Chains A and B, each alone.
Chain A
Amino acid sequence: DAGVIQSPRHEVTEMGQEVTLRCKPISGHNSLFWYRQTMMRGLELLIYFNNNVPIDDSGMPEDRFSAKMPNASFSTLKIQPSEPRDSAVYFCASSFPGQTNTGELFFGEGSRLTVL
Chain B
Amino acid sequence: EDKVVQSPLSLVVHEGDTVTLNCSYEVTNFRSLLWYKQEKKAPTFLFMLTSSGIEKKSGRLSSILDKKELFSILNITATQTGDSAVYLCAVEGNEKLTFGTGTRLTIIP
Mark A residues whose CB is within 8 Å of B: 33, 35, 41-45, 48, 50, 55-56, 91, 100-110
Q: Which residues of B are in contact with A by a Cβ distance under 8 Å?
A: 31-32, 34, 41-45, 48, 50, 88, 90, 92, 95-102
A43 contacts B31, C-beta separation under 8 Å: no
A76 to chain B, nearest CB (A): 19
Partner of B32, one of A44, A55, A101, A107: A101
- Asked if A101 meets B31 with Cβ closer than 8 Å, knowing A42-B101, A109-B41, the reply is yes
Q: Known contacts A101-B31, A107-B42, A109-B42; decide if A33 and B48 are in contact (CB<8 Å).
A: no
Residues of B within 8 A of A110 (CB): 41-42
Contact A102 B45 (CB under 8 A): no
Say how far A26's CB is from chain B's closest CB, in angstroms: 13
List of B residues within 8 angstroms of A91 by Cβ: 42-43
Q: How far is the CB of B52 from chain A (nearest CB, A)?
A: 15
Which residues does chain B contribute within 8 Å of A44, judged by CB atoms?
99
Is the Cβ of A102 less than 8 Å from the Cβ of B88?
A: no
Majority secondary structure, A binding face: strand
Most buried by A among B44, B48, B96, B97: B97
A34 to chain B, nearest CB (A): 12
Closest A residue to B4 using CB positions: A42
Q: Is the CB of A43 within 8 A of B99?
A: yes
A109 CA to B95 CA, complexed, in Å? 23
12 pairs across A/B with beta carbons < 8 Å?
A33-B97, A42-B88, A42-B101, A43-B88, A45-B96, A101-B31, A101-B92, A102-B95, A105-B43, A105-B90, A107-B43, A110-B41
Q: Cβ of B97 and Cβ of A100 under 8 Å apart?
A: no
Q: For residue A105, which residues in chain B have a CB less than 8 angstroms away from its CB?
A: 34, 43, 45, 90, 97
**From A35, A48, A100, A108, contact of B31 by CB (8 A):** A100
Q: Which residues of A contact B99 (CB under 8 A)?
A: 35, 42-45
List of B residues within 8 angstroms of A108 by Cβ:
42
Name the distance in Å between B24's Cβ and chain A's nearest Cβ: 15
Cβ–Cβ < 8 Å partners of A106 in chain B: 45
